[in-house]
Amino acid sequence: MNNPSFLIVGTNFINKGAEAMMKTVSHQVLNKYPNADIHVICHKEERDVATSQGFHPLYIDVHPLSRLIEKVIGKLKQIAGLANKPYADYTPMNQVKAIKNLKTVIDASGFAYGDKRGYQQPLESQKIIDYCKTIGVPYIIMPQAWGSFKDPQVAQNVRQMLESCDRYYTRDDVSRAYVADLLSKSIEDIPILPDIAFHFPIPDNDGRELIRGFGFDTSSTDKPILGISPNMRIYERMSGIGVDNEYINTVIQLIKHCRDQFHIILIPNEIRPGQSGLKDDAYLCQLIYDTLPDKSGLTLVRGYHTAEEIKAIIREVDILIASRFHSLIFALSLGIPSMAISWSHKYRELFRIFDLERFVVEDKGLKLEKATTLFDELWQNRKDISEQISNELPKLKARNAEVFELI
């Protein structure tokens, strides 16, 4: 008899948050079904990484640059008012249909449905939902950020998806309000639970040993360690190229403000395996590192790393400044005081769980003086803030028992 199979969609091995959500789901599945086969939809360039970690990769054989060009063409057609095809065609449906003994499809996207992601994403998910209906398999959407839904086509497609899936969850009040308005429901009728990545297991990896591989022995300094996790999406949103980018310039100035007091580690969250030719957070970390002439007290995390390894590295920092949502979740899940540079409502909503939203600054119109003042306040109150975070974590995790029972 075939082992039970589960399909995880909406995740990947490039973004460490997406990877953490995938592995959190996998961990929960394997606790119940130790012999289960876990299938994941991913990019072609991730297939070896997926296989080496025990997953069965499903993918469309398209080069990432071709995918990017197609997105640009689609956007230009949309601006020009020209007809575009309804699907992006990146769901490998033939491979999905070939899965034996499929029990559940779990959508572990973090922020996939809304105006920023466009009208095609929910249609891709709808293809899998429609197939699930024909074979009696549930499609469950894990807690995530949603919205906005100002684009009528996006709103229509997401509404159809939500009404046809078997269960969905929001993970913050703003997203909950967006979905309630979309479905014309009372906000109390919209389910809300915390991000499942808070359950991502604390890794066995030795973060100090990993950091030593980048040339820094954590026991060799009396300085506290500050982690910096930049975000390529914010870089793309802000004006300027390279070191002249407004966002990068602000991060560099923050580092200069902090480096006399801290040893600083640059920690990427989005890392592409192999040579895809596309820029990611590792590119930003390298750019920041190369721009600073004095490398003393500065460490760069190099190479491809798993989500477990990145969380293990973050575990060794005393404080974190991050623009990556799940770098922040990694830190907060360990009780580490953190400050966010935000591009979306999801950051402020995350920090609101801990009554710490004052430590979120927005990327647009970011003032260096405000950022440094908030950071100094965070550090001065780090012990109380760490305790505040740690006290909230057990209650937060207990709320998610409901969603894992559905797997």
What is the predicted pLDDT for the residue at 346?
Answer: 93
How far apart, in whole angstroms, are the C-alpha atoms of residue 369 and residue 30? 48
pLDDT at 78: 58
Higher-pLDDT residue of 274, 240: 240
Q: How far apart are CA 367 and CA 119, in angstroms?
A: 34
Q: pLDDT band for position 81 (50/70/90)?
A: low
Domain positions in the chain: 5-192, 207-394
> How would CATH label the architecture of 207-394?
3-Layer(aba) Sandwich (3.40)
pLDDT of res. 73: 63
Residue 125 Cα distances to 88, 148, 164, angstroms: 11, 18, 11
- pLDDT for the residue 62: 65
More confident residue, 66 or 40: 40
Instruction: Inform me whether the pLDDT recorded for 160 exceeds 70.
Output: yes
CA angle, corner 399, sides to 359 and 329, nearest 5?
A: 35
The CATH number of domain 5-192, selected from 2.60.450.10, 3.40.50.2300, 3.40.50.720, 3.30.70.260: 3.40.50.720
CA proximity to 254, closest of 93, 80, 376: 376
pLDDT tens by residue, 280-292? 999 999 999 999 9
Run of H or E including 319: strand 319-322
Confidence of residue 131 (pLDDT cuts 50, 70, 90): very high
Claim: this prediction has a pTM higher than 0.85: yes
- Check whether the bond before 386 is cis (ω within 30° of 0): no
Task: Return the pLDDT at 368.
Answer: 84
Question: 276 burial class (0-12, 13-18, 19+ CB within 10 angstroms)?
Answer: middle
- pLDDT, one tens digit per residue, over 302-343 is 999 999 999 999 999 999 999 999 999 999 999 999 999 999
Instruction: Identify the helix (H) or strand (E) that includes residue 135.
Output: helix 120-135
With a cut of 90, say whether residue 63 has pLDDT above it: no
Per-residue pLDDT at 365 = 73
Query: Apex CA 343: angle with CA 84 and CA 75, to 5°?
Result: 15
CB atoms closer than 10 angstroms to residue 226: 22
The answer to whether residue 88 scores a pLDDT higher than 60 is no
pLDDT, the chain, mean: 92
pLDDT at 335: 97
**Bridge partners of residue 6, in order along the sequence:** 38, 104
Check if 5-192 and 207-394 are the same fold. yes
Structure confidence at residue 235 (pLDDT): 94
- pLDDT for the residue numbered 71: 59
Q: pLDDT tier at 278 (50, 70, 90 boundaries)?
A: confident
pLDDT surpassing 70 at residue 389: yes
Of all residues in the chain, the percent with pLDDT exceeding 70 is: 92
DSSP states of 210-245: HHHTTT--GGG-SS-EEEEE--HHHHHHSSSSGGGS
Check residues 117 and 300 and name the one with the higher pLDDT. Answer: 300
Q: Which of the four pLDDT bands, split at 50, 70 and 90, describes residue 199? A: very high
pLDDT at 96 over 80: yes
Query: Which among 19, 365, 376 is positioned nearest to 203, based on CA atoms?
Result: 19
pLDDT on residue 67: 57
Which has more pLDDT, 370 or 332? 332
Residues 324 and 281: beta-carbon distance below 8 Å: yes
